[in-house]
Structure 1
Amino acid sequence: MSTSPLLLALLGDARLPSGGHTQSAGLEPALRAGTTPAEVPAYLRSRLRTVTLVEAGTAVVARAVAADGGDLAGVEAAWAARTPSAALRANGRRLGRGYLRVLQALRPGPVDDRARTWSRPVVLGLLAHRTGMDPADVARLVGYDDAQTVTSALLKLEPQDPLAVAVWLSELLPDIEEMAGRVAALRRPEQIPAHGAPLVERWAETHDTTTERLFRA
């Protein structure tokens, strides 16, 4: 049975208490490095083709491995190998702990003792399995969550017309659909895409040691 659209809406809501409100999806350091608000739509598409694609692929594979009763540690290792930045890995695992709380609240059940060290996409994959989420839906969720994190952060960092920002997000939806289609059939860790984003990674490392900042990452 497919996941209820209302549950998908809940999981994609920026108000979900998962720690997402502490994130800008790299936008804060990008703005500090000279990215302008007008370039944010291009920034969103760049993330969608790189770091977001890796995370969506990881979540889809984690869902498949969990459904088969396999060891998610291998999926976590594959994600880490495709995430060169130590700052991004640490942040992904902090978010993973937040989503683990969401998982245990919405779909309680036994989890591996190592689950507190798993990244957000791996925990989302487990949540997708427990809720009966389609592979494409978990990929859509990852893509939408990343984009709305950026746009929500922009309204705090460089206030814009909220409706204009909503239009940017709406215009990105076909790209999210295309990305979800690319990863929906993945089932093994070695199939997870490996697309780096050197600037995003460098900005994340710089931001990790910045003391005056609004967002953690």
Structure 2
Amino acid sequence: MATPPPAPSPDLVLALLADARLPVGGHTQSGGLEPALVHGGLTSADVPAFLRGRLATVVAVEAGTAVVARHRALTAGALGSAPGEEASGEAVFGDVEEAWAARTASAPLREASRTLGRGYLRLAQRLWPGSAVLDALGRRPPRPLVLGAVAALAGLDAARLVRLCGHEDAATLGAAALKLDPLDPAETVVWTLAAHPLVEELVPRLVGLTDPAEIPAGSAPLVEEHSLRHARTTHRLFQA
């Protein structure tokens, strides 16, 4: 078995997770942009508004779920059914995953999140082999649960975790836009930077969450509707 690398600093882990070159499948996703352009009539000029809408709804759900999952991972040792007994995955993360699923109504979006989650989990298991927290996630966890567990293992605080979720969504949209419509790459960077104040607004709202019932339930009906149509098309660049 390969020896795991030394534990890096939390800030370096944050940089690693935010790096678009991380080979965990993020390139397969457009953050809902391709379905919106194809099925929703959006143009590249509408992307900043689309991004802001996702931050208020989809990203709030994802980041809130990740924060609660981080809390559960940090307190997992207290959830065993008997003294000294390891808590089961269902006991640790079951109701967190249920809360996320209830707030992610589209089956294709849930599947896309699980695809990403599986990639993140595989990477995390190489970095923290034998981790009981990672084992408790099961085989097909959604991405925010894995990010929360990784944050706990790497020493990332809840504020960094929220910023990671927000920045990653904005950057994903920008990268997808360049593949879907000819743009000046600098323009997508401007979009991402312009979104950062909105990401910061999420931080105080989400960092204190510990209960799945507290996860925001902001709805994005058009994103969900477009994803259902997108799942049925055979001509697409991105999974979702």
- Please give the range of the TM-score, normalised by the shorter of the 2 chains: over 0.9
CA distance in 2, matches of 1:190, 1:182: 14
Q: 2:44 aligns with which of 37, 41, 46?
A: 37
Q: Name 1:102's counterpart in structure 2.
A: 123
Matches within 5 A, 1:153-168: 153-168=176-191
- TM-score scaled by length of structure 2: 0.87
Match for 2:16: what amino acid? L
1:107/1:131 contact within 8 Å kept:
no
**Would you say the 8 A contact 1:54–1:194 is kept in 2?**
yes
User: Offset at 1:118?
Assistant: 1.3
| Shift of residue 132, structure 1, vs aligned partner | 0.7
Q: CA deviation at 1:91?
A: 1.0
For 1:36 and 1:142, the matched residues in 2 are separated by 24
The answer (yes or no) to whether the contact 2:34–2:238 under 8 Å persists in 1 is yes
Asked if 2 retains the 8 angstrom alpha-carbon contact of 1:56 and 1:180, the reply is: no
1:56 to 37, 40, 63: 63
Larger of the two Rg values belongs to structure? 2
Distance in 2 of aligned mates of 1:3 and 1:73: 29
Does residue 74 of the first structure (1) align with residue 95 of the second (2)? yes
The residue type paired with residue 45 of structure 1 is R
Distance 2:203 2:50 in 1: 18
Distance 1:113 1:189, change over 3 A: closer
Tell me by how many angstroms 1:74 deviates.
Answer: 1.3
After TM superposition, the score normalised by the length of structure 1 is 0.96
Indicate the SS of the match to 1:72: helix
Q: Is the 8 A contact 1:3 1:134 kept in 2?
A: no
Is the 2:137–2:146 Cα contact (8 Å) retained in structure 1?
no
Root-mean-square deviation (CA), in Å? Answer: 1.4
SS of match in other structure, 1:16 = coil
Unaligned runs of 5+ in 1: none
